[in-house]
Structure formats: C-alpha cells, structure tokens
Structure 1
Amino acid sequence: MLNNSPVRVKPWEFGPLSTEEFGDEEKELVMRVLDKKRVFRFYDSGLEQSETRLLEDLYRERIGVKHCLAVNAGTSALIAALIGAGIGPGDEVIIPAYTYIATASAVLVARAVPVIVEVDDSLTMDPKAFESAITPYTKAVIPVHMRGVPSRMDEIMEISRRHQLIVIEDVAQANGGSYKGKPLGSIGHAGCFSFQQFKLITAGEGGMVATQDDKIFARCSVYHDSAFAYWGDNMKNNYEAFPGENFRMSELNAAVGLAQSRRINGLVSKLQNVKNRIVDGIQDLSQIQLQSIPDPQGDVSYSLIFYLPTIEQSKKFSALLSHEGIPNGTIDNNGFADRHIYKNWTYVMEKRGASVHDNPWNCASYKGNVEYSADMCPTTINLLSRAIAIGLHQNMTEEDCDDVITAIRKVASRQ
C-alpha cells in the first residue's frame, strides 16, 4: 500500500541566502560609515579607508586579480566591463540562452548585438554552440555561471584564444565559486559580480568588476563615473577621459557588502555540505539524471537540479514532490523565472532598442544579421522543461536534507 502521508509536514521556511546572515558585523560597519559622516567614496579625506575601497581590496585578494572596481549593480558591472574591453557598435557578443535578462541588456546598452546560443545539461553555455555562433563580427563572449554552477571554462577559453575573443565572466549567481581551483571571475579578461539581495552576498544593490588588464580597468573606472579623472588622486593617473555614467557604489552599500563578503567561504562550505549530502542520497536513482557540474568542487551549491526523461514526467514528479512538502520548480510552474529564459526577453526578440530610429541592430556600424525566435534554442527549452530545481540553504540541517532525499526517493519509486 502506498503511503500518502507527506514526507515533510514541517514548514519550509528558508529565506534569501544573504539577508538571513545579517547580524552585528553589518550593523557595526554601517554605523562606522554614519559615525564618519562619509557616505561618498571619493570624499577628500580617508580615501584609502573608504568602505568601498576595503571591499575592492577584499575581492582583489580573494580572487587574485590586479584590479577590482565596485559599482552600483551587477548590470552596471557588465556594462562597464564591455565598455572597458572596447566592445561597442558593430560588435556581436555571444551569450547563453539561460541567464538573467541583464546579460543581454548590458550588451545592448554597450550598443553591441547579443547572439544567443544553447546551454548543455550543466545549464551553462554549450562550448560547441558557442564556437558555431562565431562570425567575423564576434568580439566577445559572456559565459554565465548559472545558479552557482561554473561554466566549462577550459573549452570556452581555448575557443576564445583561437578566435581572439574577449571573455567576460558573468559571476552574478556564483560569487564564491571556482573552476579547477581558480576563483570564478579571475579566468577571463574580466569578471562581473552582483550584490543584489537575492545573491549569496548582498549589499542591497551593488556589483564588482575584476580584471588583470590595466587598460580594461582604466576604461571601466572612467565609464563608471564620468568625473572619475577629477576626483583627488585619480588626476595623477592620466586617465583618458570619455563620457561615462554614474555607477559609483555608496559607502553604505559597500559596508553591508564588506561585512557579508568576509563570511563567503564559510557560506559556500555549508552549502556544499548540504548539497553533497543530498546528492549522495539520490545519485543511485535511475529514474532521474542529475545536472552535469563542470567542476563539482567549484559549485556554490545553492541549487539542486535534476532531469526527468520527458516533460510530462517532469510535471508529474514536480507535483508529487510538492505534495511531499518539498518546494521545487520547473519551467512550467515558474520555478524558473521567465526573465531568465531567452524566449521571454521581449525587447531582444523584437530587436527593440531605446530609440526607434537607432539601435544596435540597425546602426550603420553593424553589418551582421542576427535573427531571434522563440524556438531558436530547442535544447535549452527541452532541458529546462524537464528540469526540476530545489533551492538549498546554508541553514538546512541534516534532517532537512534527509527529508529532501526521502521525498525524492519516494516519488522516484512511483515513476
């Protein structure tokens, strides 16, 4: 007789990964800013000890790069990195079909054209699809380390070197991750981080550009603040000024981000322990296929993803798993937010720029002919339609993990 009683009746009450860590250190550093009455990083005094500078120092040391630049958002980081690398009108930039819409938007704001390619069963960019999409107009690629999972960086870097392409890593969803011992964000020409509230580390809003390249850093610095060359010691560096934005990070945001970032290694370790325990408990199941992880040791591990053989089986499995008290999602029930899937990027699909008369697709500099359609990446759509995702949390206990294992095994036995 089947046991219809749910495996878990206790509520699943895990909030965002970052804000549940708020504590005395965040309060202390925010109050330090207020006590100093210095909320603008380029204020004349105390430049070296600004919270923003300390946050940049932390990431320089942690990632092992020469330069880090704090900005006001992850999208701003991507835009600044693209501009910093000289990407602009007439250029194509290859991006994966599964990523937050900001990846495509940043390319468009830089007035380049996004070229969308398939992901593989890691749900990160398929290197073969990437290479097949390269044209004479391709200047850069943005591999996205999606849902904490590192992209296949060996293959992507090798292809990029052969074709002399700029590599900008989108690390917005994988802060703290690595690939074969190298911190994510340190492998390509630039790495871009996000500190938005739903990321592992938050500043409320915020971002970071990391790079070894002096020229990219100088151009990012100028672009992130059109007055950058005129603030204090920056005048001495002879930056070549050009029009920019105001992407500066506030000292208050930096204080929160600094407190949070100091505990990142511990957070990732806890998440990896949670995921490893669950994976160990279900990896023998023939009914499901676990997501491919290009480097399991580098997985940030806040998401457990597996596939069912068909879309219908996935829907059924998801519903039964929910009945067992384990929240989960598929593409069909908004477990994957639509804005992360290329076919729902309406303004990209319709080639709609900020101006009707002049946008990246129809500007005089662009000689290519990129086309988009909802069915252009069938492998991606099929994978997402068959995927089931369970969000993990650093505060999950062994009992919580075992509930997930028991529920998955119970539902699998019914397949």
Structure 2
Amino acid sequence: MTSKIIPFFNYPVLYERQKKDLLPLIDEILSGGRYIMQKELENFESDLARYLGVKYALGVADGTMALILALKASNISPGDEVLVPSHTFVATAAAIAHVGATPVLVECDWSHLMDPSDLEHRITSKTKAIMPVQLNGRVAEMNEIKDVAERNGLIIIEDAAQALGAKFKGEFAGTFGVAGTFSFYPSKTLGGFGDGGAVVTNDSRIADSIRLLRDHGRHPSGEVMQWGFNSRLDNLQAGILGYKLKHYSKEIERRREIAALYHSSLDGLEALKLPPPPSDGDHFDIFQNYEIEANCRDELRAYLDVQGVKTIIQWGGKVIHQYPSLGLNKDLPMTELMSRRYMLLPMNTSLSNEDISYICEQILTFYRR
C-alpha cells in the first residue's frame, strides 16, 4: 500500500482554514441566543438574492424540502406529471412524489444533464412542469429546455443543488424558471456544517407561499393560514453560510483551476471521457464534482484505491430508473450506458497541485498497463 492518501473529502482541513473566523461568529450567534429565523438568516437571504440577481431567496431546512416547497408553491399537485432526468439523486424525484405528482424520467445527453431532445415526446395532457437538474456544477442547455416549456405551456422548476454560481449564457443556475432550489449539504461548493437549502424566485406569490409553508403555515402575525412544515434554515447555519458566501468566488476559482489541471493532464486519453474544460463558451462551470466516464471503471477505481486515491460513484452507482421498487419508466439507454462508466475524481479546495498531478499520474499509469 502507498503511504500517500488523497481522501475524496477532507472536511477537517477545510474547517481549519476558516476556524479562526468561524469560531467567533459561532460564539456570537450562540451567546446571543439567535437560533431560529434571526438576523443571520435575513442577511444571508438578502446576500444570496443579491448574488444571484433575484428578488427573493428563502432559506429552508435542506435541499429536498426546497424542492418540495417550490413544487407546492407552484401548485404542482396529485395527478400532475413532471419531467425529470433519471441521472440525479433520488431526492429530486422523491420531491415530486411527495406532492402527489408523478416523476416522468428523461434521458441525459453527453454532458450528463437533461437532454432537451428527449422531452417533447414524453409530454402528455398531465405534464405540468420540467425539472432540469444542474449537476456537477454545470447548467443544462436551458435555451432549448425553455423553448420546449414555452411551446407546451409548462413551468420550469430547477434543481440547482450542485450548481450555485454556475451560468449558462451569463444567467445563473436556479434563475431560469419560476423557482430554483439549492442545497447547502457539507459537500456542496457552498456547504454548511449540516443540512440546509434555499429556494430562489422572482415571483412574489411563490415567495409568500414558501414563507408560510416553511414555518407551519404561519403568517408573521402568528395566524396559521394553511397546513405547512417545519422547514426553516437554522440561524447558525445561515450565519456560517453567509460568511462563506463572502469568500465564494475564491472557492469557485480554485475549483476551476483544479479542473484545468485535470484536463491538461488527461485530455486525449481515449479511455476517458472528461467534462468540458473551464473555458467552454456559453457555459461557466463551477465544478461541484469532476465526473468522468472511464473504460474499465471498476478496475480503475480499485487501482486508484491501492495507490491512496479515493474516488466515489455518485449515489452508490444507481440512477433513478434502476430502482425497481419505484416503478418508474426505464427506456433510457443513454443513461443506462453512462451509469456503468461514470465516477468522480477528488474535487475540493483542500487539494494541492501536487495532489492533482499524483492522481493523474496514477490514472495514466493504470491505462498504460
């Protein structure tokens, strides 16, 4: 076994870098008893809305609840159908099911994102919405998806959990439809120290609805207006996220540097299919993940593990149509093929240039063998 270990995540190192700033902030919040829906949440929501150029940002308990609340506020209800890619975490489709609607799965394209050409033939009289999933820090071809939505009178609700700060033609992920959702799970590019999420929108009606839904259906006056949930972003996480948002541009810059290093070393290796490099025309990618496709994927992962390089396959290696108990459509050959080849290389700002060189060297050695 090698003495060099490159973990996939390295939370302790990332915490140590910010510890001296975070501890006083945490102490101030806790000492002041500001635990639920206090100024740190209000400030974070304002800062997030300003960053994305939207009118409203609302902090909620997690990314899954962000999706559920966005769907409910958009009047998606039992009997409706929502088009969603199979290549996503099960929570995306689960949110649709939890409001009583039916997820209808669609293909991904070469970028591992929703394939616009696979939408129209899946639309029925019950279809009410399209839910693109902006995976790995990249935005789908939203012009084409918006065209399909407009032609068919559908709304768009984005799952942008992995794409805060990513852009397509200068427009941020999460801002293309009636609502967009984000996750602040610790592994996200803007991650907290626990669960957290947000919904963003320019629609005042949707914003007002989510304010009620996230807090037991209560109006600020205290009057209960409807059935709701306990789904508030807690104030401590909001304070931490607000601090991190102020430094977020450096996080993105470093991830794009790492992606460029991977690309310069591995581009041209026929056994791999890499994501596009950082300089990619209309797309501004933030590289939440570095997802590749690999020949002999399982053998490559085993070899890298022996060399101390830890990799993962998203969601345990299954996409949504591969869970028989969910009973969803399975005619997705492109997604099926991709699911046998994709894997994630380490991508986080604890990595040094030397770490990336070592990872690439091991990959090249494996395929030369």
Partner of 2:314: 336
- In structure 1, which of residues 66, 69, 75 is the aligned counterpart of residue 64 of structure 2? 75
Task: Provide, for residues 331-374 of structure 1, a one-character-per-residue CA deviation record: whole Å limited to 9, x for no partner.
Answer: xxxx232386113546522xxxxxxxxxxxxxxxxxxxxxx25x
What is the rounded CA distance, in whole Å, between the counterparts of 1:288 and 1:252 in structure 2?
42
Measure the CA separation in 2 of the matches of 1:120 and 1:402. 29
Query: RMSD of the alignment, in Å?
Result: 2.5
- Aligned amino acid, residue 197 of structure 1: P
Indicate the residue corresponding to 1:387 in structure 2.
342
Aligned twin of 2:93:
104
Matches for 1:83-98 after TM superposition, within 5 Å? 83-98=72-87
Deviation of residue 32 (structure 1)?
2.1
How far did residue 241 of structure 1 move?
3.3
1:248 aligns with 2:242: no
- TM-score with structure 1 length normalisation? 0.80
| Structure-2 residue corresponding to 1:368 | none
Q: Which amino acid aligns with 1:408?
A: I
Deviation readout 1:123-163 (Å, 9 max, x if unpaired): 11111112221111111111111122222222211211211
Q: Which amino acid aligns with 1:229?
A: H
1:32 pairs with 2:25: no
Question: Aligned to 2:119, what secondary structure does the other structure show?
Answer: helix
> Counterpart in 2 of 1:209?
199
Q: Which residue of 2 aligns with 1:196?
A: 185
Q: Residues 256 and 120 (structure 1 numbering): CA distance in 2 closer, same or farther, change over 3 Å?
A: same
Tell me which residue corresponds to 1:278. 262
Change (3 A) 1:134 1:251: same
On the 8 A contact 1:98/1:124 being kept in 2, the answer is yes
Does the C-alpha gap of structure 1 residues 277 and 185 become closer, same or farther in structure 2, counting only changes over 3 Å? same
Partner of 1:123: 112
Percent identical residues: 28
Comparing 319-328 with 383-392, greater Cα deviation is found at 319-328
Shift of 1:54: 0.6
Q: 1:268 aligns with which of 248, 252, 257?
A: 252
- Contact 1:26 1:260 (C-alpha < 8 Å) held by counterparts: no
Q: Does 1:10 align with 2:4?
A: yes
Aligned CA distance change for structure 1 residues 73 and 227 (closer, same or farther; 3 Å): same
- Secondary structure of 1:140 counterpart: strand
Match of 2:362? 407
1:224 aligns with 2:214: yes
Change (3 A) 1:320 1:18: closer
Q: Is the 8 A contact 1:339 1:345 kept in 2?
A: no
Change in Cα spacing, 1:347 to 1:215, as seen in structure 2 (3 Å) is: farther
Counterpart residue identity of residue 4, structure 2:
K
CA shift, 1:37, in A, is 2.0
Q: TM-score, normalised by structure 2?
A: 0.90
Q: Does the residue aligned with 1:257 lie in a helix, a strand or coil?
A: helix
Task: Give 1:111-150 correspondences, 5 Å limit.
Answer: 111-150=100-139
**1:214 offset after TM fit, Å?**
1.4
State the one-letter code of the partner of 2:351.
M
Point out the more displaced range, 290-299 or 91-100: 290-299
Per the alignment, residue 355 of structure 1 pairs with none
Point out the structure with max Rg over C-alpha: 1
Aligned structure 1 segments of 4 or more residues deviating by more than 6 angstroms: none
